[in-house]
């Protein structure tokens, strides 16, 4: 079983081109399912813990029920079911199974939620705070400006290289989920912050091989910043700004999309900027203000006036 899971990880990496984060999440989900089966086998003796072909849809339902009983969110349970379904499809491809028992299991309906967003004034208070005048301070400001200006994900920002920036056309190349690339515009203020930071950064290392892949955001040692460090940087300036609420990189992404939508931007354009494959995903990640809804209603409904 462990060999199958390890080979499944290689399959996700090489053939499905999954990101390392998604691949690790899927493997963790399958590992958790395997542990559940082992415990089930000890209690009932009905499900051999070392045979995938003995697993039925009722065993998967029991696993999901146990997750729900533990208080796990429905969206997380649905992801674990997706991982199990993908794993069994892989085993069918390998000739180790004839059918997928997960196809008979329905995913739980995800809770509808309104994502946390900052108001425009709150974003400005965060971005216009006091930053140290050294390279690290310039870097931190560029990070926050780029988050809000482009709406990129945390992992996308962490993976950027200097070569991804096109100052002439005010664009940045983004490598999203599944290594899919997209190009998004960057605002003037964010570009100024990035240019100031990069100029300061290159003062220490002006030489470099032509076309070399140089990390955009680095620490004092010159190594690329990881996602945890970037999150801590954001939290530091959130605390300094006096915002009495939890703000994550995804909060800035939500705020980016919501503020564009409130200003009249087309939802499909926002979909392209965020890198969503489905428009329904964009609708879940953006919230529409009541004032914007009322404006649309007043303009469109024959009986509104």
**Sheet architecture: strand order including 171-175:** 165-166, 171-175, 181-185
Q: How far is CA 130 from CA 141, 231, 240, 241, 253, in A?
A: 9, 18, 8, 9, 22
- Give the number of C-alpha atoms closer than 13 A to the C-alpha of residue 159, restricted to the C-beta side: 16
- Run of H or E residues at 174: strand 171-175
Reading the block at residue 280, the tokens are 């329904």
Q: Who contacts 37 (Cβ-Cβ below 8 Å, separation ≥6)?
A: 47, 49, 55, 59, 63
Question: How many residues are recorded in the chain?
Answer: 305
Cα separation, 56 vs 126, in Å, equals 52
The residues annotated with a catalytic role in the active site are 153, 177, 250, 253, 276, 285
Cα separation, 71 vs 234, in Å, equals 29
283, 267 Cβ separation under 8 angstroms: yes
Tell me how far the alpha carbon of residue 247 is from its chain's centroid: 15
DSSP state at residue 265? -
Reading the block at residue 214, the tokens are 């140089």
């Amino acid at each position: 079983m462990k060999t199958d899971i390890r080979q499944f990880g290689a399959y996700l990496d090489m053939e499905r081109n999954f990101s390392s984060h998604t691949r690790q999440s899927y493997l963790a989900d399958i590992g958790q399912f395997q542990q559940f089966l082992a415990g089930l086998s000890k209690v009932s003796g009905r499900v051999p813990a070392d045979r995938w072909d003995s697993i039925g849809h009722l065993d998967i339902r029991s696993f999901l029920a146990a997750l729900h009983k533990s208080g796990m969110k429905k969206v997380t349970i649905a992801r674990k079911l997706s991982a199990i379904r993908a794993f069994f499809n892989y085993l069918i491809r390998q000739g180790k199974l004839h059918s997928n028992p997960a196809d008979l299991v329905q995913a739980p309906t995800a809770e509808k939620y309104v994502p946390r967003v900052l108001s425009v004034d709150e974003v400005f208070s965060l971005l216009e705070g006091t930053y140290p005048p050294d390279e690290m301070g310039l870097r931190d400001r560029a990070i926050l400006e780029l988050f809000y200006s482009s709406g990129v994900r945390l992992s996308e920002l962490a993976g950027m290289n200097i070569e991804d920036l096109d100052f002439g056309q005010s664009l940045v190349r983004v490598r999203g989920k599944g290594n899919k690339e997209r190009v998004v515009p960057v605002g003037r203020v964010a570009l100024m912050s990035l240019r100031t930071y990069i100029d300061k950064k290159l003062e220490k290392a002006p030489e470099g091989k032509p076309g070399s892949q140089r990390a955009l955001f680095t620490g004092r040692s010159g190594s690329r910043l990881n996602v945890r460090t970037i999150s801590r940087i954001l939290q530091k300036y959130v605390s300094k700004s006096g915002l009495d609420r939890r703000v994550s990189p995804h909060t800035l992404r939500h705020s980016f999309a919501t503020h564009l939508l409130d200003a009249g931007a087309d939802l499909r354009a926002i979909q392209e900027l965020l890198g969503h494959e489905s428009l329904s995903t964009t609708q879940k990640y953006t919230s529409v203000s009541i004032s914007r809804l009322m404006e649309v209603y007043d303009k469109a409904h024959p009986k509104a006036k």
